[in-house]
Structure 1
Amino acid sequence: MVVIRHSKASTGAPMSVTSEMDTWIYDDFTGGELDPARWEIVEVMGADGRLHAYRDRNARQRTGDGHFELTVDPFSRFHDSDPKQNNAKQMYRSTRRFAVPAGGELKLEVAMAVRTRGQIPYDLLDAFGTMNVFDPETGVVFNLAATDDTVFAVLERLHIPGVTRPEERFVHRVVLETPTEPGREHRYGIVYHAGGSEASWYVDGRRAYWATIPVPLTGLHAGMGLFSARDLTRYSRAEREHGQGATGRWSSWRITASGPANGG
């Protein structure tokens, strides 16, 4: 049995799974502005010990037609030594943490289209958009990302003081065999399988990548954003900040929680 419901009236405690599989729409983007009860700008502690918001002064957004569209053109948020003050230009996270059913699965899905301007061709990190699934309690991040010419999967564990040790940090980026072009929409999905502590990345209904996760996860946030994250130690400011920008467009987010009978 599949139950589909909207979560517009419920942004507090996690929904209970009322059947073997429970599916609902977290946000259908039909309101006149991005709902602050559902989405917030990500803030992180920088190397200077201060909180920094992933917000670019050139950001423009539009919603209300079943999509959320974000444009930052050109990117203006750059830093020469701290990636946290450089990489994310504008990023939102769900205010809600979606619980992973014990022994089951949690799936997050969204359609996304990305169009960049001035991006270095086939450079994954010069300008790109993301659908993010992540857990601040463990530092684990699952992304599906796109440029004008490439779709790629990301598995990362962040170094978060008090949460993870520096030696636990890692990042894997895997280029996927997904033809794309500027503004082309793809359906993306991330599934976390609690029973085997495994994650799967889906593009247009096909499993494109999978990996075993080093720590168990009990909940995940959704996110969406625009980035430019070339290595600060390898590239000068002029090579990283050359007038590039991007537009991302996301459809309604669908969440599916499955118990062990269907997901284990």
Structure 2
Amino acid sequence: MTTTEEITSAPYDDFTGTELDTDKWMFLEYPMPDGSTHVCAEPNAEVVVGDGTFSIRIEQFENHDHVVQIIDNPKHLVFTTEAFDVPETGEIRFSVTMAAEGLNATAYDYRDGFAAFNVLDLQGGWVFDLAATSDRIFAIHERLPFPGVVTPFTHCIDAPLSGLTVEPGAEHRYSVTLDREARSVVWEVDGKGVYWVDDAEVPGQVQVGFGVFTLHPVQDSGSVSLRGQGLAARWRDLTIEMPSSA
């Protein structure tokens, strides 16, 4: 983030209520071929809002889809009702404090379940996430297979020499910085760069989300993402920073 301009920083939600503010947050939903709607929400999730924190505990995943990969992946996902403009010049940085702990998950296999801080373009399908499990922290760069997208992809990137200490339930500060003019995206954890992309396609608007995901490929026989595992996660201190002139 530039130091030559005044920076404005604003919290999006202070999570002081007892329930998630539906004026600020909504669940990701997918329309289904039969006319129904698939809601990315775990039916037995224990959700707690208050004291500045949004937390969730899912003892055992149940949400899944037997056919469509991008519907099977998100077990529980809320995102902002507000879309944030990415300035044409200067940077915009989205940050949150996040913690995660796998429940009955396979050690070191993030595909079993991870918590994510999502920065996503729901129009063009661009995704810039940071993710955590009990024992791993990684960046996600993704292009969802939306209509018109020729080459969708999902890349999960480790930074083994970052020096980050990863423990179950430990908090870290996660940040994603977008710069349209420079065509760059930077993923940081505790101020350390864990991934960056130059010559990136940076969207004009993004939304922010908190989610729990699996990443097991859907098989011909259907979803294999439900293995008796779950996840606990929490998020707090969500801020958006940008030059005040933007």
Q: For 1:97-246, what aligned pairs fall within 5 Å after superposition? A: 97-161=83-147, 164-165=148-149, 167-177=150-160, 178-212=164-198, 214-233=200-219, 240-246=225-231
- Displacement after TM superposition at 1:81 (Å): 2.1
Which residue number in structure 2 is paired with residue 22 of structure 1? 8
Q: Report Cα offsets for 1:7-39 as digits up to 9, x if no partner.
A: xxxxxxxxxxxx842211111111111111111
TM-score (norm 1): 0.84
Amino acid at match of 1:172: H
Gaps of at least 5 residues in structure 2 are none
CA distance in 2, matches of 1:56, 1:43: 12
- Displacement after TM superposition at 1:149 (Å): 0.7
Query: Helix, strand or coil: the match of 1:252?
Result: strand
Q: For 1:24-63, what aligned pairs fall within 5 Å after superposition? A: 24-46=10-32, 50-63=36-49
Query: Helix, strand or coil: the match of 1:224?
Result: strand
CA distance in 2, matches of 1:124, 1:236: 20
Distance 1:140 1:48, change over 3 A: farther
Aligned-pair Cα RMSD in Å: 2.1
Query: Helix, strand or coil: the match of 2:70?
Result: helix
CA distance in 2, matches of 1:205, 1:183: 19
Query: Helix, strand or coil: the match of 2:218?
Result: coil
CA distance in 2, matches of 1:93, 1:207: 24
CA distance in 2, matches of 1:100, 1:241: 37
Query: Helix, strand or coil: the match of 2:96?
Result: strand
- Displacement after TM superposition at 1:258 (Å): 2.1
Number of residue pairs aligned between Structure 1 and Structure 2: 239
TM superposition outliers: structure 1 runs of 4+ over 6 Å: none
Query: Helix, strand or coil: the match of 1:27?
Result: coil
Gaps of at least 5 residues in structure 1 are 1-18
Distance 1:184 1:23, change over 3 A: same
- Displacement after TM superposition at 1:107 (Å): 0.5
TM-score (norm 2): 0.90
Distance 1:85 1:134, change over 3 A: closer
Which residue number in structure 2 is paired with residue 5 of structure 1? none
Q: What is the aligned-residue identity percentage?
A: 33
CA distance in 1, matches of 2:69, 2:76: 14
CA contact (8 A) 2:178 2:202 kept: no
CA distance in 1, matches of 2:229, 2:146: 29
Distance 1:84 1:51, change over 3 A: farther
CA distance in 2, matches of 1:121, 1:49: 39
Match of 2:239 among 230, 233, 254: 254
CA contact (8 A) 1:46 1:84 kept: no
CA distance in 2, matches of 1:99, 1:115: 32
CA contact (8 A) 1:59 1:72 kept: yes
CA contact (8 A) 2:185 2:200 kept: no
Distance 1:76 1:211, change over 3 A: same
- Displacement after TM superposition at 1:217 (Å): 1.4
Amino acid at match of 1:107: R
